[in-house]
């Protein structure tokens, strides 16, 4: 240092860096904070000595203390005023860090404008300086005037003299001490010299930055995501200049492949960010003597070029214009020696002059309020009186007041379209996303108020603190597009309007449910309304409760008051204890039933006649009654379509009348009673001829299975006759010449179906008794010798192919082709006697379209009309010669039905899997690839090694603490519920409480500085177990049976048995009795083990990145575990590195544990579970023990099968109750003739078993194939030949044969047999195994956003697990959007990107499972695309008329400009 080689800097707080930026670096820093002599504060009679390292805040406290205790005269005001002045210097943060000496040295060395140096200079302070071994004391004036201190000179202390003492020992002359300090600053309280204002993403126009970054990097916009939470002040400066900052960061990060951020210093910011436009103004003005201006000419020289740095600020142009106008007004007033305010008043607009200047923007006369505001302002502010006072003051004083002024402002309000999105989460909390950016103007506050106001119109109970349930989330350019610019002082209002519209849509949907619930319950809470179930479980619960009600009425209990039942609350709860609701759970429903046992069974009259005669008497009593309203019912399912607005006085139930429930068949007809269930009618028709079977096929598509099991055939037809219900069944039966039998009183008559439908509406006294369906095969065979051919087909077009969806159109066509057939009807008459050809078919289609007239209020009229024509065309098209062509091109509109299937662009093309390239190159980002945030901790589970024990304590070994272990999180640290997994069947805890109930149960989470240290700490942790006085754990299913430790399977998940097992065994030629099968568990072996990253966020929020198949379930569980609303939890999943069901439920506790630790410690926490822990804790496939007995014939034909199955579910319920149903469905792929079983789901002290690839189906297939092979072995037959005849599913026999042919199965089997005969080493053989899988479709959300450059961002509820979901969704998006038929869409797949799942961006994502989520996601996206195409088509057609052809990019660009 003596040689001048090293550059040295002496520091204390180093706060000077905020003002003087270090351009170069130093070789050595010397920190003075640890030298006691420099930290001393001493007081004596002469004053106070303060060490140079004492912080400014400590110096202030020391001077204050001296003032309070050391002086009592008026001269003590010196210290008080020094303190007052020093407290105004810098901010509290700076005062706590900066040293007194450092401030003075900056003033001496760098001419820093120091307040403190100025104040201490005046009071005659002394400074003590050390240079080497020498020290000297100087006055403050000498110190400031000397040459700059070098790095070898140190300021040691400052002495502030005691002015009380100095005045006391002065001469006897009487003197008064005057002392005052002054400070003029922009901010009177805190002198801010430096403040960083620009952060990456601190931008008012995220959408513009999005586009700019995209173009700068040369990538599509869907590859860019700009996120802005809030902006720390904008004033227009973050509209466009912030785009440069964001783009520069993006370019650097993209090139370096590393995160890059900018935190711009104030100096740089002020140099490059521009500001308000400067300008030079030259004006000429003419005016009258009273101050009225008659003409004004202005020349503005803005002094800027196109590439100038002057940028938009608050009210761009308006401030300059106001300044110009007021300068002119003041100039005129000065010239005329008039008061400025009077000149302003003289030149205010009246409405006519306003229209002259502003034209169409002036509005209506009543809207021009400026004159009245001008006068009100003068009165409310006492403007005239205050002006007079100022004039009087200025007359009497040397120092003049400048005056008081009022200035009019006219601002044109421009409203811009702004997007908004409202998501109501499952706990009733609300997440709001808007286009406007929070700049401090209170936009989020207004949006919350508007959302609360709009949603409160639904009028639920407990909405008093509804504002607390609402959260406005950050702006994200891929989540909500077309945000625009937050400017013009109206963005808050535009945003509120968008939210109001969203809320109105939600209210419209929810208010119907609310009214229905109010009718049932009286009042409805908001949380109850949101938690309404899907209704799937309702039927089972109603049946269970009804049975309990009936049984209670049979008890000898006292008769309850009117309106009440004998059923007790606990009995109601017990009645539905076996039922389950996956949406709400058992407990809330049990509570509702318990509180609503006011079942009024005596309010209405209910009759159930048991014969036709008794029915006739009931009807005659109605006829002779007193005007009472009567309803005849069977299943009463019509209530779900036609709501009963009024009640009936009497109900007549026909279900017990045997004559109405019979099914009879003779040679030429089938008679079906009116009360026969539709499902029973289907079974009966399936046993008949081809026509009846096709009727059954069609009827099976009507409604759902549950409705068909309750609804009657007659009820459906009566609804069609009475209410014009769009009945498929009526249309089908009309075509086959159905006859109906009616009874009215004692009379009965038989009429055709056509007559029945045309007759006046049936009243309550008329009863449909039965229907007759003719056997057309029999009729055709016994008809005359004329050669006839019968054609019969049914058609149905609906929004969904199966289930509760009314058809757009349905049709049934039956034709007898002969030379002498005749019938009524225009179409039939036209076709009769004609030879079918293309021309004839075209004419009949044209005729049909002309006579099909739909009602005015019919939806999709053109589509329905075309369907009718299409059905007719398809019916006859196969009879027309395939090579026949219409000479006039008549059939062009229908040629696709006769030609090969058209090529579906993008959908049927083989394409590379989405993301395959980045996965193969290692660039794909999984959860563990996300860089660790600052101060991130790593977690590892401490899990139980005992199946059943008390947990007395957990101790970390000292080595673990030394190696970085930070904390241990257990159930005692949980803020909400101890919840780790929540399914519809029940909860499981996150951590064991005082007991651990299985090996592998999580006891605690240890967090450390690295994952390695966390794993080591968890392995070395010592858990103190106690097993005294505890029963032995249940470790086998045999012990389960002895102790009856079973999970209950809800009734609607219990599979049904088939046939009579005893009878089947009696018919068997051979029997196998009590054979046993044992099937072990199977572990998940995904490549990516369980992993999660949780990052605490502001305002009690948390963001969790999880590798999970059901982010929505994790969000709900984390919310309940932390005790915060769901809108405070954000779960993000980009992709999963293999799931197989193991990341459906088992990933939830991993994400929840990380979230809990991060929330408690306020630091990010992540976990990447090692393989050993993963396999020990995450369960696997359900093991089982099976005992079976089977009977079979000599040829291998089965006659009966009975199974006793014990399923080991482990300690938690998870999804185990569904396993029996899936298992039995898989076994039913073979026709066992009689099939019975007894399946128990066992609760043991093993880890909980969960869903795993084909849960239950794999075990069921294993059982059925084991039985088949056992039977084949006993009979010495080939297992394949035994199985071939047993296939049940309709298409399996043909698939079975095709597979044998395509795989050369027989030849390869013979080759293996020959090989095994000739070789020592045997081949295991070749096998084909049939599989039956029930496809279950679920509702999935989807969102498609078209960005400014034409690229497309898609978000779906399904998770990419490697199954290609993203690929299918991309194909569907490309296919659906290509319907717009623009040019330049050849490589459209490249324009589409699927973005990660985000539970606050797209809610209700559900569970990715069941092999159908890809298809459900595609359907959601298809619907979204159809809406977009519908909106874009008119714009495209408009531009096509002008330009001829329109490219996709131009269409989107023009649409954006047009918008």
Could you report the per-residue pLDDT of 1237-1246, keeping only the tens digit for each? 999 999 999 9
* Helix, coil or strand: residue 895: helix
Chain segment 1373-1406, per-residue pLDDT in tens:
999 998 888 887 878 898 999 999 999 999 988 8
Q: Are strands 747-752 and 981-983 parallel, antiparallel or unpaired?
A: unpaired
Residue 1457 pLDDT: 65
At 352 the pLDDT is 81
Lowest mean pLDDT, pick from 81-85, 413-417, 500-504, 799-803: 799-803
Position of tokens 């019938």? 823
Examine the pLDDT at 196 and tell me if it is beyond 70. no
Q: How many CB atoms lie within 10 A of CB 1290?
A: 7
E strand or H helix that includes residue 585: none
CA angle 302, 306, 309 (to 5 degrees): 75
Contact 229, 1130 (CB under 8 A): no
DSSP 893: G
User: What is the rounded CA–CA span in Å between residue 371 and residue 478?
Assistant: 47
Average pLDDT of span 1161-1183: 94
pLDDT grade for 362, boundaries at 50, 70 and 90: low
Burial class (CB in 10 A: 0-12, 13-18, 19+), 822: exposed
Scan for tokens 């024990």, then name that residue.
Answer: 949
Residue 836 has pLDDT above 70, yes or no: no
Q: What is the pLDDT of residue 413?
A: 75
Q: Identify the CA nearest to 606 among candidates 656, 645, 564.
A: 656
Per-residue pLDDT tens over the stretch 1110-1159: 999 999 999 999 999 999 999 999 999 989 999 999 999 999 999 999 99
DSSP, res 803 = B
Radius of gyration of the chain (CA): 43
Residue 1183 gets which letter from DSSP?
P
Q: Is 1210 left (phi over 0), alpha (psi -120 to 50) or beta?
A: left
Q: Residue 895: what pLDDT?
A: 30
Please tell me the distance from the alpha carbon of residue 114 to that of residue 183, in angstroms, as a whole number. Answer: 11
Query: Structure tokens of 881?
Result: 């010669």
Q: What integer pLDDT is reported at residue 233 of this predicted model?
A: 83
Q: Are the beta carbons of 320 and 279 closer than 8 angstroms? A: yes
Residue 949 is predicted with a pLDDT of: 96
Over the range 772-809, which residues count as b (16 or more CB within 10 Å of their CB) and which as e? bbbbbeeeeeeeeeeeeebebbbbbbbeeeeeeeebbb
Count of other CB atoms within 10 angstroms of residue 770: 25
Q: Look at residue 21 in the predicted model and tell me its pLDDT.
A: 64
Q: What is the pLDDT of residue 900?
A: 33
Question: Residues near 73 by Cβ (< 8 Å), separated by ≥ 6?
Answer: 164
Indicate the helix (H) or strand (E) that contains 247: helix 241-256
Q: What is the mean pLDDT of residues 40-44?
A: 86
Cα 107 from chain centroid (whole Å): 58
Q: Which of 301-310, 594-603, 809-818, 936-945 has the lowest mean pLDDT?
A: 594-603
Residue 807 neighbours by CB under 8 Å, 6+ apart = 726, 728, 796, 797, 798
What pLDDT score was predicted for residue 239? Answer: 83
Quick one: average pLDDT of 1357-1365? 91
In this prediction, residue 192 carries a pLDDT of: 31
- Give residues with Cβ within 8 angstroms of 1110, minimum separation 6: 1144, 1145, 1147, 1148, 1359, 1405, 1406, 1407, 1408
Q: Name the 3-class secondary structure at 153.
A: strand
pLDDT band of 1018, cuts 50, 70, 90: very high
- Model confidence at 936, in pLDDT bands (50, 70, 90)? very high
Q: Residue 1350's CB: how many other CB atoms inside 10 A? A: 23
- The count of C-alpha atoms lying within 13 angstroms of the C-alpha of 496, restricted to the half-sphere facing its C-beta, is 16
Report whether pLDDT(601) > 50.
Answer: no
pLDDT band at 5 (very low <50, low <70, confident <90, very high): low
Beta sheet of 1165-1168, edge-to-edge order: 965-969, 1002-1008, 937-943, 1165-1168, 1091-1097, 1101-1106, 1129-1133, 1397-1398
Please check the confidence at residue 1197 and state whether its pLDDT lies above 90: yes
Residue 199: per-residue pLDDT: 28
Does pLDDT of 1220 surpass 70? yes
The whole-number average pLDDT for the span 806-823 is 60
Q: Across residues 1317-1345, what is the average pLDDT?
A: 87
Percent of all residues in the chain with a pLDDT value above 90, rounded to a whole number: 30
Taking residues 1179-1188, report their average pLDDT: 94
Report the distance separating Cα 882 and Cα 962, nearest Å: 85
Q: State yes or no: pLDDT of 303 exceeds 60.
A: no
- Lookup: tokens for 903: 């090529």
C-alpha 88, offset from chain centre: 50
Contacts of 321 (CB under 8 A, 6+ apart): none
CA distance 820 to 1429: 51
Mean pLDDT score, 593-612? 58
Distance of alpha carbon 651 from alpha carbon 630, whole angstroms? 6
List the structure tokens of 747.
């009379």
Q: Please name which of 1096, 1104, 1263, 1214 lies closest in space to residue 1163, comparing C-alpha atoms.
A: 1096
Q: Where are the beta strands (DSSP E) in 1279-1405?
A: 1342-1346, 1352-1356, 1392-1394, 1397-1398
Centroid of chain to Cα 590: 28
Stretch 1346-1364: mean pLDDT:
91
| 1230 touches 1288 (CB < 8 A) | yes
Token reading at 1216: 């185990």
Average the pLDDT over 659-678 and give the result. 87
Q: For residues 31 and 9, is the Cβ–Cβ distance under 8 A?
A: no
Q: CA–CA separation, 420 vs 470, rounded Å?
A: 14
Q: Which pTM does this prediction carry?
A: 0.63
| Separation of alpha carbons 182 and 781, rounded Å | 119
Higher-pLDDT residue of 209 and 787 is 209
H-helix segments, 941-1009: 958-962
Band (pLDDT 50/70/90 cuts) for residue 68 is low
Answer yes or no: is pLDDT of 464 > 80.
no
Task: Tell me the longest C-alpha to C-alpha distance in the chain.
Answer: 153
- Which of the listed ranges 122-136, 388-402, 1203-1217 does the model predict with the highest average pLDDT? 1203-1217
Beta strand ranges found along 753-808 (DSSP E): 766-774, 789-797
Apex 444 CA angle, 440 and 448, nearest 5: 150
Task: Specify the length of the chain in residues.
Answer: 1459
Listed in sequence order, the residues at least 6 apart from 1444 whose beta carbon sits closer than 8 Å to its beta carbon are: none
Output DSSP code: residue 282.
E
pLDDT at 788: 61
pLDDT at site 1358? 93
pLDDT single digits (tens) 999-1012? 999 999 999 999 99
Looking at residue 975, its pLDDT comes to: 92
pLDDT digit string, tens, across residues 1073-1122: 999 999 999 998 898 999 999 999 999 999 999 999 999 999 999 999 99
Tell how far CA 491 is from the center of its chain. Answer: 26
Average pLDDT, the chain: 81
- How confident is the model over 1405-1453, as pLDDT tens digits? 889 998 889 999 999 999 999 999 999 998 888 888 888 788 888 888 8
- To the nearest 10 degrees (0 to 180), the angle between helices 206-217 and 241-256 is 40
């Amino acid at each position: 240092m003596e040689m001048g080689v090293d550059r040295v800097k002496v520091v204390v707080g180093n706060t000077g860096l905020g003002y003087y930026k270090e351009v170069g670096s130093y070789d050595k820093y010397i920190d003075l904070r640890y030298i006691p002599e420099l930290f001393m504060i001493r007081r004596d009679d002469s004053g106070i000595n303060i060490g140079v390292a004492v912080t400014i805040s400590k110096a202030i406290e020391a001077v204050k203390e001296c003032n309070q205790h050391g002086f009592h005269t008026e001269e003590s005001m010196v210290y008080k005023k020094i303190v007052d002045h020093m407290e105004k210097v810098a901010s509290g943060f700076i005062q706590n860090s900066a040293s007194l000496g450092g401030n003075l040295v900056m003033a001496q060395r760098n001419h820093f404008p120091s307040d403190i140096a100025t104040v201490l200079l005046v009071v005659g302070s002394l400074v003590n300086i050390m240079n080497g071994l020498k020290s000297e004391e100087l006055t403050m004036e000498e110190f400031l005037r000397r040459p700059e201190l070098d790095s070898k000179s140190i300021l040691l202390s400052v002495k502030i003299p005691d002015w009380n003492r100095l005045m006391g020992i002065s001469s006897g002359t009487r003197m008064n001490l005057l002392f005052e300090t002054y400070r003029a600053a922009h901010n009177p309280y805190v002198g801010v010299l430096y403040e960083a204002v620009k952060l990456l993403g601190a931008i008012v126009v995220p959408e513009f930055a999005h586009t700019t970054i995209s173009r700068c990097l040369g990538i599509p916009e869907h590859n860019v995501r700009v996120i802005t939470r809030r902006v720390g002040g904008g004033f227009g400066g973050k509209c466009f200049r912030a785009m440069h900052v964001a783009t520069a960061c993006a370019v650097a990060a993209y090139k370096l492949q590393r995160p890059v951020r900018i935190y711009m210093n104030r100096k740089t910011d002020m140099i490059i960010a521009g500001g308000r436009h400067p300008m030079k103004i030259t004006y000429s003005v003419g005016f009258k003597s009273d101050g009225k201006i008659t003409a004004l000419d202005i020349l503005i020289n803005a002094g800027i070029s196109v590439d100038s740095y002057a940028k938009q600020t608050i009210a761009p142009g308006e401030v300059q214009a106001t300044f110009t106008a007021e300068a002119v007004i003041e100039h005129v007033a000065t010239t005329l020696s008039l008061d400025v305010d009077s000149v302003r008043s003289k030149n205010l607009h009246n409405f006519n002059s306003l229209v002259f200047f502003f034209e169409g923007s002036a509005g209506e006369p009543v809207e021009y309020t400026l004159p009245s505001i001008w006068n009100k302002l003068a009165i409310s502010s006492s403007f005239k009186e205050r002006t007079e006072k100022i004039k009087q003051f200025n007359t009497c004083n040397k120092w003049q007041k400048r005056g008081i002024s009022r200035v009019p402002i006219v601002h044109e309000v421009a409203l811009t379209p702004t997007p908004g999105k409202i998501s109501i989460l499952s706990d009733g909390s609300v997440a709001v996303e808007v286009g406007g950016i929070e700049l401090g103007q209170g936009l989020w506050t207004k949006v919350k108020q508007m959302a609360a106001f709009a949603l409160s119109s639904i009028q639920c109970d407990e909405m008093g603190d509804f504002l607390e349930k609402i959260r406005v989330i950050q702006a994200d350019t891929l989540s909500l597009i077309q945000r625009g610019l937050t400017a013009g002082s109206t963005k808050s209002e535009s945003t509120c309007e968008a939210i109001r519209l969203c809320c109105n849509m939600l209210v419209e949907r929810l208010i119907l449910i609310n009214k229905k619930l109010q009718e049932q319950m009286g009042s409805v809470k908001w949380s109850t309304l949101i938690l309404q179930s899907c209704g799937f479980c309702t039927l089972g619960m109603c049946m269970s409760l009804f049975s309990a009600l009936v049984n209670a009425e049979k008890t000898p209990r006292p008769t309850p008051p009117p309106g009440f039942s004998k059923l007790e609350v606990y009995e109601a709860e017990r009645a539905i204890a076996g039922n389950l609701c996956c949406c709400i759970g058992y407990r809330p429903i049990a509570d509702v039933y318990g509180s609503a046992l006011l079942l009024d069974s005596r309010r209405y009259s209910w009759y159930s006649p048991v014969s036709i005669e008794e029915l006739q008497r009931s009807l005659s009593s109605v006829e002779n009654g007193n005007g009472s309203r009567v309803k005849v019912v069977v299943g009463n399912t019509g209530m779900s379509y036609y709501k009963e607005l009024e009640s009936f006085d009497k109900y007549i139930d026909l279900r017990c009348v045997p004559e109405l429930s019979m099914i009879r068949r003779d040679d030429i007809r089938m008679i079906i009673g009116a009360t026969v269930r539709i499902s029973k009618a289907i079974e009966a028709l399936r046993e008949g001829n081809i026509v009846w079977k096709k009727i059954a096929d069609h009827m099976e598509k009507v409604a759902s299975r549950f409705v068909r099991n309750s609804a009657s055939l007659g009820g459906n037809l009566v609804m069609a006759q009475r209410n014009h219900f769009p009945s498929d069944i009526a249309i089908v039966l009309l075509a086959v010449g159905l006859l109906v039998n009616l009874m009215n009183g004692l009379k009965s008559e038989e009429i055709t179906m056509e007559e029945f439908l045309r007759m006046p509406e049936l009243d309550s006294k008329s009863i449909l008794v039965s229907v007759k369906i003719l056997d057309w095969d029999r009729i055709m065979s016994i008809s005359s010798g004329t050669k006839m051919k019968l054609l019969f087909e049914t058609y149905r077009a609906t929004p969904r192919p199966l289930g509760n969806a009314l058809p757009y159109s349905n049709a049934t066509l039956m034709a007898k082709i002969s030379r002498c057939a005749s019938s009524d009807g225009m179409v039939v008459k036209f076709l009769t006697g004609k030879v079918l050809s293309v021309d004839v078919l075209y004419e009949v289609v044209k005729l049909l379209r002309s006579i099909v007239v739909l009602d005015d209020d019919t939806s999709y009229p053109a589509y329905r009309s075309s369907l009718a024509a299409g059905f007719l065309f398809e019916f006859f098209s196969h009879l027309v010669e395939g090579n026949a062509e219409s000479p006039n091109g008549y059939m062009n509109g229908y040629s696709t039905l006769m030609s090969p299937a058209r090529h579906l662009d993008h959908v049927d093309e083989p394409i590379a899997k989405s993301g395959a390239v980045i996965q193969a190159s290692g660039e794909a980002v999984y959860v563990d690839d996300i860089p660790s945030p600052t101060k991130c901790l790593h977690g590892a589970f401490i899990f139980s090694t005992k199946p059943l024990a008390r947990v007395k304590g957990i101790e970390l070994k000292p080595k673990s603490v030394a190696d970085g272990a930070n904390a241990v999180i257990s159930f005692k640290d949980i803020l909400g519920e101890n919840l780790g997994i929540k399914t519809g069947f029940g909860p499981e805890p996150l951590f064991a409480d005082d007991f651990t109930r299985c090996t592998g149960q999580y006891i605690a989470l240890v967090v450390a500085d690295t994952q390695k240290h966390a794993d080591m700490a968890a392995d070395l942790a010592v858990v103190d177990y106690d097993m005294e006085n505890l029963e032995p754990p249940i470790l086998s299913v045999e012990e389960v049976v002895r102790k009856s430790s079973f999970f209950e399977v809800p009734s609607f998940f219990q599979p049904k048995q088939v046939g009579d097992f005893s009878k089947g065994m009696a018919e068997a030629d051979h029997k196998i009795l009590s054979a046993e099968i044992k099937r072990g568990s199977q572990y998940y072996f995904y490549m990516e083990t369980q992993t999660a990253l949780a990052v605490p966020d502001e305002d009690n929020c948390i963001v969790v990145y999880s590798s999970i198949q059901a982010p929505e379930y994790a969000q709900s569980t984390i919310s309940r575990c932390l005790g915060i609303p769901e809108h405070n939890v954000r779960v993000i999943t980009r992709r999963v590195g293999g799931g197989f069901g193991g990341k459906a439920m088992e990933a939830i506790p991993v994400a929840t544990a990380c979230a809990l630790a991060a929330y408690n410690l306020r630091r990010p926490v992540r976990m990447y579970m090692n393989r050993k822990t993963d396999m020990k804790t995450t369960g696997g496939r359900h093991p089982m023990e099976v005992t079976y007995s089977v009977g079979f014939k000599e040829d291998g034909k089965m006659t009966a099968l009975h199974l006793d199955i014990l399923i080991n579910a482990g300690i938690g319920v998870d999804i185990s109750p569904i396993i029996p149903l899936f298992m039995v469905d898989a076994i039913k792929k073979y026709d066992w003739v009689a099939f019975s079983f007894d399946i128990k789901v066992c609760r043991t002290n093993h880890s909980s078993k969960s869903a795993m690839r084909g849960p239950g189906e794999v075990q069921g297939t294993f059982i059925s194939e084991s039985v088949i092979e056992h039977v084949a072995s006993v009979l010495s037959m080939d297992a394949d030949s035994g199985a071939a005849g047993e296939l049940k599913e309709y298409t399996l026999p043909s698939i079975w044969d095709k597979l044998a042919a395509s795989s050369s199965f027989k030849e390869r089997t013979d080759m293996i047999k020959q090989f095994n005969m000739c070789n020592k080493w045997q081949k295991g053989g070749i096998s084909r195994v049939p599989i039956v899988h029930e496809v279950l479709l679920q509702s999935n959300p989807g969102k498609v956003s078209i960005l400014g450059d034409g690229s497309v961002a898609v978000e779906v509820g399904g998770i990419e697990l490697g199954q290609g979901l993203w690929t299918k969704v991309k194909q569907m998006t490309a296919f659906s959007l290509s319907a717009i038929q623009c040019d330049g869409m050849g490589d459209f797949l490249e324009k589409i990107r699927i973005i990660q799942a985000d539970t606050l961006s797209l809610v209700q994502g559900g569970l990715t499972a069941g092999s159908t989520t890809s298809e459900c996601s595609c359907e959601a996206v298809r619907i979204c695309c159809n809406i977009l195409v519908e909106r874009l088509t008119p714009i495209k057609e408009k531009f096509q008329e002008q330009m001829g052809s329109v490219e996709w990019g131009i269409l989107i660009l023009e649409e954006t400009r047009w918008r």
